[in-house]
Structure 1
């Protein structure tokens, strides 16, 4: 486990299958994750079983975000390293916090802790994230953690209301994590 006094980042467990099934099938978050169709319970279970494979094989890492609740822990979200490229020492980062737990500072804690882990333990040189131009909460989150706007992809995301731009943010190792 990777943790600080506020949050815990932990590996996926078979017991997470029902929660992942629920979260991954919320249509409202599909545009953020480029999802077009629902996930089956079988697909979720297969995914969890594959998380035991090495990050160098799968090129991704998903961790669950827990918060302490007395002697127990409550799972409130997940954070991902995707498109892991060991040769160029980079990867993408994505995060999802369950709606009732948003705006409590957990996302900032999780991204800061995860960034520290991938830079100092996995030895990555850089992280990047792609954010829809209208996702003000994510833009504010990543900018507060010293991710820098590197580019704008015009009409990149197709939505029911037309196309939106996507912003690319990047953080290079060795720069401060929290302001």
Structure 2
């Protein structure tokens, strides 16, 4: 994926949402998100990332085709007027060229949540996955108690197709997880 891929969608009041490949300048933003221990429970991360780790990831990821790498990580860039701010990341993971499917993960910086921005980013990712990568389906796993994420994905027609009982151990308690799918019909 080239470093200049941009998927744009116009929003009200001259606002734009752009999904773009990570740049070296994003290392500090990724460092803050990846090392936020509140997010580790959903990512299964247990070891912090260094700036060097993230810079090397950015340099190597930009040279790989999505199906070779098995993933695509995009920065969610919010633009209003001439200002541009990285507000989150959205991933396609476990990409399969044979089965034409991929998983979706999204994280929005806390300052930008509850403003419909995640939905706009997810809309663009769905378009990219189905129309440019030619995927047949997208999937995601969401903790049963994560009602905000469930509402987000279900509002984009993802359907709950399975439930994993006591799947994740979070803060000493077992929690169930839903499996959701969106089929490109």
Shared fold by TM > 0.5? yes
What secondary structure is seen at the aligned counterpart in 1 of 2:27?
Answer: helix
- Which of 105, 123, 135 pairs up with 1:112? 123
Is 1:34 the counterpart of 2:44? The answer is: yes
1:3-152 alignment runs, 5 A limit: 3-6=8-11, 7-52=17-62, 53-152=64-163
- Would you say how many aligned residue pairs link Structure 1 and Structure 2? 174
Instruction: Return the alpha-carbon distance in structure 2 between the equivalents of residues 56 and 146 of structure 1.
Output: 25
What secondary structure is seen at the aligned counterpart in 2 of 1:4?
Answer: strand
Instruction: Return the alpha-carbon distance in structure 2 between the equivalents of residues 11 and 56 of structure 1.
Output: 15
Using the TM superposition, name which of 42-51 and 8-17 deviates more: 42-51
**Structure 1 residues 35-76: Cα deviation after superposition (integer angstroms, max 9, x where no partner):** 112111111111111112111221000000011121131111
Instruction: Return the alpha-carbon distance in structure 1 between the equivalents of residues 114 and 88 of structure 2.
Output: 13
Cα RMSD over matched residues?
A: 0.9
Instruction: Return the alpha-carbon distance in structure 1 between the equivalents of residues 35 and 88 of structure 2.
Output: 14
What secondary structure is seen at the aligned counterpart in 1 of 2:47?
Answer: coil
Instruction: Return the alpha-carbon distance in structure 2 between the equivalents of residues 142 and 161 of structure 1.
Output: 27
**Structure 1 residues 74-120: Cα deviation after superposition (integer angstroms, max 9, x where no partner):** 11101000000110000000000000100000000010111011001
Using the TM superposition, name which of 76-85 and 37-46 deviates more: 37-46
Instruction: Return the alpha-carbon distance in structure 2 between the equivalents of residues 155 and 149 of structure 1.
Output: 17
Gapped regions of structure 2 (runs ≥ 5)? 1-5, 12-16
What secondary structure is seen at the aligned counterpart in 1 of 2:45?
Answer: coil
Is 1:156 the counterpart of 2:170? The answer is: no
Instruction: Return the alpha-carbon distance in structure 1 between the equivalents of residues 67 and 52 of structure 2.
Output: 24
Instruction: Return the alpha-carbon distance in structure 2 between the equivalents of residues 55 and 121 of structure 1.
Output: 11
Instruction: Return the alpha-carbon distance in structure 2 between the equivalents of residues 79 and 152 of structure 1.
Output: 23
TM (norm. structure 1) is 0.94
